[in-house]
Amino acid sequence: MSLPVTRIFDLSRACVHRLCLAVGAWALLLGLALAPVASAQDSGEADPDKGLMEQGMELFFEGLRREMAPTLDEAARLLAQVGPSMRNFLMEMGPALSEIADQVEDWSLYEMPEILPNGDIIIRRKDDAAPDAPAPPAPETEEGDGSIEL
């Protein structure tokens, strides 16, 4: 099945939009879950009405937030840096990559892409892969009721 290039880009925009919404939703949920932790820390005392499980979960989520903050910040910076160049790459190379994907049925028959000294990028077919070889015939079986003699 091949999709028109414009449809592929519409799909990628929709996927990026959904990803941003999902990240925003998780950030909102995490912020709401950690709000009681922040207020409890501000007061400096533990709430005696909270059970041990609730206090443990608050501590767990606070630790998780602290541990994940640098990673999430770095991911946001990387996405901001790579996003425009990835969009440009897909705009320029999308049609050619779509044609290649239509022609190649099994990527496991090919080597990893290789960059030549002149800058060309080639993808070689593996030596052990016969060009367009038919599938090997299934082994012949004796006809019977399907039982196995022991």
The two tokens of residue 136 are 């090997």
Residue 40 in this model has a pLDDT that exceeds 50: yes
Better pLDDT: 136 or 117: 117
Q: Where does the pLDDT of residue 116 fall: very low under 50, low under 70, confident under 90, or very high at 90 and above?
A: very high
What residues contact 109, with CB distance under 8 A and at least 6 apart? 125, 126, 129
The residue-averaged pLDDT of 57-61 equals: 91
Q: Where does the pLDDT of residue 46 fall: very low under 50, low under 70, confident under 90, or very high at 90 and above?
A: low
- Taking alpha carbons only, the member of 25, 22, 20, 3 closest to residue 97 is 3
Provide the 8-state DSSP code for 125.
B
Average pLDDT, the chain: 74
Q: Where does the pLDDT of residue 91 fall: very low under 50, low under 70, confident under 90, or very high at 90 and above?
A: confident
**What is the pTM for the complete model shown?**
0.31
6-10, 63-67, 144-148: which range is least confident on average? 6-10
Q: Is the dihedral of CA 116, 120, 121, 124 positive or negative?
A: negative
Residue 61 in this model has a pLDDT that exceeds 80: yes
% the chain with pLDDT above 90: 7
29-33, 39-43, 121-125: which range is least confident on average? 39-43
Secondary structure class of 114 (helix, strand, coil):
strand
